[in-house]
Amino acid sequence: MLNLSELKYQTILLTETGQQIDISNALTGLTWEENKKELASRITCDFFNTRQEGQEISDITKPGCIICILASCGSMKQEVARGIITDWTTHHANTASSVSLTCYDELYNLQKSQDNIYYSAGMGTQAVIMDILQKWEIPLAEYKGPNVTHAKLVYKTKYLSDILLEILDDAVKKGAGKSIIRAVSGKISILPLGSNTPVYHLGEENTSAVKAKYSTSNMITRVKVLAKEDDDGKSKVEAVLYGKTQYGIRQKIYVRSSDDSMDAAQSAAQEILNEEGDIEKTLTIEGPDVPFIHKGDLVHIVVGALNGYFYVNSIQHNAANSKMSMDLEAK
Render pLDDT for 18-29 as a digit per residue (tens, 0 to 9): 899 999 999 999
The C-alpha atoms of residue 159 and residue 164 are separated, in whole angstroms, by 9
The C-alpha atoms of residue 284 and residue 282 are separated, in whole angstroms, by 7
Q: What does the CA dihedral 139, 142, 147, 152 come to, rounded to 10 degrees?
A: -10
Give the pLDDT mean for 167-175: 91
- pLDDT for the residue 331: 85
Helix (H) or strand (E) holding 304: none
- pLDDT for the residue 1: 63
3-state helix, strand, coil in the chain (%, to 5): 20, 45, 35
Q: How confident is the model at residue 175 (pLDDT cuts 50, 70, 90)?
A: confident
Quick one: how far is CA 24 from the chain centroid? 26
Pick from 215, 151, 183: nearest CA to 43: 183
Residue 13 has pLDDT above 90, yes or no: yes
Pick from 278, 291, 290, 273: nearest CA to 329: 278
Give the pLDDT mean for 195-202: 94
Percentage of the chain modeled with pLDDT above 70: 100
Residue 37 has pLDDT above 90, yes or no: no
Pick from 138, 128, 187: nearest CA to 163: 128
- pLDDT for the residue 283: 87
Burial of 176 (0-12, 13-18, 19+ CB in 10 A): middle
The C-alpha atoms of residue 40 and residue 186 are separated, in whole angstroms, by 12
Mean pLDDT for the chain overall: 92
How many Cα atoms within 13 Å fall on the side-chain side of residue 249? 6
Give the pLDDT mean for 30-57: 93
Find residue 155's DSSP bridge partners: 117
If one counts every other C-beta atom within 10 angstroms of the C-beta of residue 40, the result is 22
Find residue 184's DSSP bridge partners: 187
Q: How confident is the model at residue 92 (pLDDT cuts 50, 70, 90)?
A: confident
What's the angle, vertex CA 155, arms to CA 243 and CA 240, rounded to 5? 20
3-state class (DSSP) for residue 281? strand
Pick from 158, 168, 99: nearest CA to 130: 168
Percentage of the chain modeled with pLDDT above 90: 71
Residue 221 has pLDDT above 80, yes or no: yes
- pLDDT for the residue 128: 96
Q: Minimum mean pLDDT among 6-20, 109-123, 258-272, 285-299: which range? A: 258-272
Position 220, amino acid: I
Give the pLDDT mean for 48-62: 92
Find residue 132's DSSP bridge partners: none
Phi, psi of 31 (to 5 degrees): -135, 150
3-state class (DSSP) for residue 83? strand
